[in-house]
């Protein structure tokens, strides 16, 4: 339909955008897989110990997935600019090395890339990629954009009542000159204990400021950031529209990482802890189901502290061990039964369950440890592709 944007429903595996009268490209001869990936970014594609760097193996396997016909939806709290710099630029470069034709790669992007930045505050359909002065410029058609309500009032409130009591914290929005500005949301950055701060704001700040439209404001806590977003961002109408449209694409739907309830409820998602994934990230455990569980044995460990603050340490080395915890952060105890299955126990009757990262054979058939979610995502996706999960 000339002059509009919609998903083609012709039974082909790739998406075709018809925008501004320019039909999308289709590469049916090169397609041998189909399906849709919903991908979180931070804590899912990133490298260990880094606040920004994306794992190169994850980029490589995603590039292959897109090149062979798969569709990728990037649902992330990151800004569009950061998504372009850290994810889309490397994918474009990888595809350009394969095809040696930027127009071909631009067409692939139009068919198979969807972005939902800033916690799904908008759905962005790629309409092409241009090269201007040796730089890539990604073009987008924006749908269902939702800005956080009362943005300037809310910002003034955060800066006057919250920032002063948290040293080195600051707010990022869309004011001119801000580093990595947000287009739709406000981010309060440089803080800790974000889950507790969200509850504090609800308890002490919200009742004092009834003129701000709190009904349509949602607070999302990350490790060192609280994002203030429109309460319908990522839920309605963008996610409902997207879920409706991808239903017309043949092939599996699969998610990786912390996608939020709006997608997590309906998209099968590989994520080790859907309730509080940040707890696992703080403990350097992959946010993927790529770990090995093993019951500790008597006289091999010592537990110090209580509740969420309790730690389990190796009795001989003193090193802290990552152990299985419940939704409240309490250590889970269990014991092997007669069939060697783990059965629930108590602190007196059971033992903590140690969590160890999984292993895989990488380049040169060298055994490697999956020490971060980026490699975990790459490993799972590679296994699924190689075993034909996405085969047409």
pLDDT tens digits for range 298-321:
899 999 998 888 999 999 999 999
Strands 311-314 and 291-295: unpaired
Q: Which tokens is 247 given?
A: 């239903």
Q: Does domain 28-146+234-278+377-386 have CATH number 3.30.1280.10?
A: no
- Report whether pLDDT(291) > 50: yes
DSSP secondary structure string, 173-193? -S-TT-SS--SS-EEEES-S-
The Cα 42–Cα 158 span in angstroms is: 24
Provide the 8-state DSSP code for 216. Answer: G
What are the tens digits of pLDDT across the range 39-80?
Answer: 999 878 887 667 678 989 899 999 999 999 999 999 998 999
- Whether 114 and 7 have beta carbons less than 8 Å apart is answered as no
| % of residues, the chain, pLDDT over 70 | 85
What are the tens digits of pLDDT across the range 253-276?
Answer: 999 888 877 787 788 888 655 445
Q: Which residue has the tokens 């410029």?
A: 137
- Report whether pLDDT(277) > 60: no
Q: Which residue has the tokens 């694409």?
A: 249
Closest CA to 42 of 76, 3, 89: 76
> Domain residue spans in the chain?
28-146+234-278+377-386, 151-230, 291-357
What are the tens digits of pLDDT across the range 138-151?
Answer: 999 999 999 999 99
Mean pLDDT of the chain: 84
């Amino acid at each position: 339909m000339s002059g509009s944007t919609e998903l083609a429903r012709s039974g082909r595996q790739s998406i075709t955008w018809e925008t501004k009268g320019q039909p999308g490209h289709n590469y049916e001869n090169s397609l041998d897989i189909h399906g849709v990936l919903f991908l979180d970014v931070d804590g899912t594609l990133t490298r260990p110990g880094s606040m920004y760097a994306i794992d190169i193996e994850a980029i490589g396997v995603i590039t292959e997935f897109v090149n062979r016909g798969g569709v990728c939806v990037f649902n992330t709290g990151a800004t569009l600019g950061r998504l372009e710099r850290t994810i889309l630029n490397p994918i474009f470069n990888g595809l350009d090395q394969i095809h040696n034709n930027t127009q071909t790669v631009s067409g692939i992007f139009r068919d198979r890339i969807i972005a939902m930045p800033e916690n799904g505050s908008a759905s962005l359909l790629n309409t092409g990629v241009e090269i201007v002065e040796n730089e890539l410029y990604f073009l987008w058609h924006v749908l269902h954009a939702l800005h956080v309500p009362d943005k300037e009032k809310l910002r003034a409130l955060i800066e006057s009542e919250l920032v002063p009591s948290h040293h080195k914290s600051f707010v990022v929005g869309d004011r001119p000159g801000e580093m990595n500005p947000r287009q739709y949301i406000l981010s309060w950055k440089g803080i800790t204990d974000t889950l507790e701060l969200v509850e504090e704001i609800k308890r002490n700040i919200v009742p004092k400021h009834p003129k701000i439209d709190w009904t349509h404001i949602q607070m999302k806590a990350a490790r060192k950031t609280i994002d203030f977003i429109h309460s319908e961002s990522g839920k309605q109408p963008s996610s409902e529209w997207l879920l409706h449209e991808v239903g017309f694409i043949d092939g599996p739907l699969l998610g990786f990482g912390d996608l939020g309830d709006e997608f997590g409820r309906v998209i099968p998602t590989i994520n080790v802890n859907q309730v509080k994934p940040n707890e696992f990230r703080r403990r350097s455990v992959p946010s993927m189901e790529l770990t090995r569980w093993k019951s500790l044995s008597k006289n091999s460990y010592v537990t110090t502290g209580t509740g969420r603050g309790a730690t389990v340490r190796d009795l001989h080395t003193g090193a802290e061990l990552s152990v299985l915890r419940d939704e409240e952060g309490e250590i889970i105890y269990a014991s092997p039964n007669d069939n060697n299955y783990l059965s629930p126990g108590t602190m007196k009757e059971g033992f903590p369950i140690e969590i160890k990262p999984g292993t895989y054979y990488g380049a040169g058939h060298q055994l490697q440890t999956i020490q971060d979610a980026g490699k975990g995502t790459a490993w799972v996706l590679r296994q699924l592709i190689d075993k034909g999960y996405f085969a047409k």
